[in-house]
Homo-oligomer: A and B are copies of this chain.
């Protein structure tokens, strides 16, 4: 990770820069990227145009910054929390839990939308973000492959498993409501059970039901 590490967002209020990026993300999702002018964005962030230009160079650089911000938070809240877990199956399970919690209440939904649905970036900017996303895919793939080699999950195609994991987790922003009947913690548990219940090879000697199973 070549970018500076950010302080924990739960421990301290968001920086002015983060607040600008979140407000800009909301406006871009609401109006559309083409329709949102720099003036609109300045208004939404409570700045003058000159004040906004103190933080960003252009509308495209703002879009890039929003996506880097989304990846920064993701890497801080998910990836960096799990990379050092030695057991690959445990690493993947905790990773799913952390990622579900991030998508459900970790940062603004609009940042997530811009990270996963906006194809407006081009050239070098696009490559930068794609490289950061690919790092996560590679991490998942190599963890699945490692767990297969360790014999703790049955043979799966690591690429299919990685994208199935990602699809299940990232689709959450499209349907989950924090004030709905399912809590974020319950969702994380249910998804772990759904996903890993089918992957684990149960040790033949174990008589007790596995942790997390409800039958």
Contacts and interface: CB of A to CB of B under 8 A. Distances in A.
Interface string A191-215: 1011111110100000000000111
Interface in A24-80: 29, 32-35
Contacts of A164: 168, 171, 191, 194-195
Instruction: Label chain A's interface by main secondary structure.
Output: helix
Nearest to A29: B119
A182 interface: yes
Contacts of A129: none
Contacts of A119: 29
A163 B156 contact: no
A163 B175 contact: yes
Given A167-B171, A172-B167, A198-B199, A191 B154 contact: no
A197 B194 CA distance: 9
